[in-house]
A = this chain, B = another copy of it.
């Protein structure tokens, strides 16, 4: 398995990408390639004591910045590092891409270069999140799309179910809809329509979920739109980071507490990257400000998705449903 790291995507510099890659090679038994400026990559590798030719370097001097409009940038920079990396996966040279770059640009490039599965209009970021009981749930969409229809969300529920079966080893994952109240009938017209469609969809829909319930094992898959999902994810990460820092600063034995189950499982770096589901390949989206630990965990997630053949599982689940003619109604 070879995984490509999109090096210019790291806000904290190439050195983070290089260090995470070196650590991955030595502990995960995989190959790592780097996409980015080969001169800068070579210097960063030498600074860590490695000869540049130890790794495959995919050279390009184009990269997409966080302030750029993704559609414009992709048009103007056909050789951007994220695109070059994805082309390697499309061509079968590599098995996965990990990027901490511009999420919108990664989503659009991945959709174009690797292709979206039949029946889909949009992909979704699938973020694994911790709960109180040392269990986890999957949040979709964690921020791939800024605008989705109710039927897109039903597809996200099917993809999340298929992924949860692989992640958690359960056959009928519970699917919940994030809403402002747990009672049926809560929310606006759009949420009511999504709930109605989820009732009929081939998933184990268990109803609405409120924001506080998500931490108490209320569902295995939680569905929301990419705006709310992204805001929720980052707010939770920020709050967990803050309270964990606070324990560390207040108490000499704070680090004892932090190594215990729940705190360990709530540390944001554990969840360094989310796979983009719905595309024909493995692409992991990490944070712009990811540190070495977060990027290393994103690489681990990439390896796992390749080994579990997550894209194939998603494609099968969609095909099983749609090819039987039970098309979803409504848009």
| In the complex, A206 has a CB within 8 A of chain B | no
Which of the listed residues A183, A189, A215, A266 has the most CB atoms from chain B within 10 Å of its own CB?
A215
Query: In the complex, what residues of B have CB within 8 A of residue A25's CB?
Result: none
| In the complex, A172 has a CB within 8 A of chain B | no
The interface-forming segment of A33-41, A84-92, A238-246 is: A238-246
A263 touches B243 (CB 8 A): yes
In the complex, the count of this chain's copies comes to 2
| In the complex, A132 has a CB within 8 A of chain B | yes
Q: Which residue of B132, B187, B226, B235 contacts A232 across the interface (Cβ within 8 Å)?
A: B235
Given contacts A210-B234, A231-B232, A262-B246, is CB(A215)–CB(B188) below 8 Å? no
Query: In the complex, what residues of B have CB within 8 A of residue A227's CB?
Result: 179-180, 187-188, 191, 228
A237 vs B244: C-alpha distance in the bound complex, in angstroms?
A: 16
Given contacts A180-B231, A250-B260, is CB(A69)–CB(B236) below 8 Å? no
A213 vs B237: C-alpha distance in the bound complex, in angstroms?
A: 10
A264 vs B187: C-alpha distance in the bound complex, in angstroms?
A: 32
| In the complex, A214 has a CB within 8 A of chain B | yes
Query: In the complex, what residues of B have CB within 8 A of residue A214's CB?
Result: 235, 238
Residue of chain B at shortest CB distance from A288: B181
A9, chain B: closest CB distance, angstroms: 14
Query: In the complex, what residues of B have CB within 8 A of residue A188's CB?
Result: 146-147, 227
| In the complex, A211 has a CB within 8 A of chain B | yes
A237 touches B257 (CB 8 A): no
Contact string against B for A residues 277-297, beta-carbon threshold 8 Å, 1 for contact and 0 otherwise? 000000000000000000000
Query: In the complex, what residues of B have CB within 8 A of residue A180's CB?
Result: 103, 143, 146, 226-227, 230-231
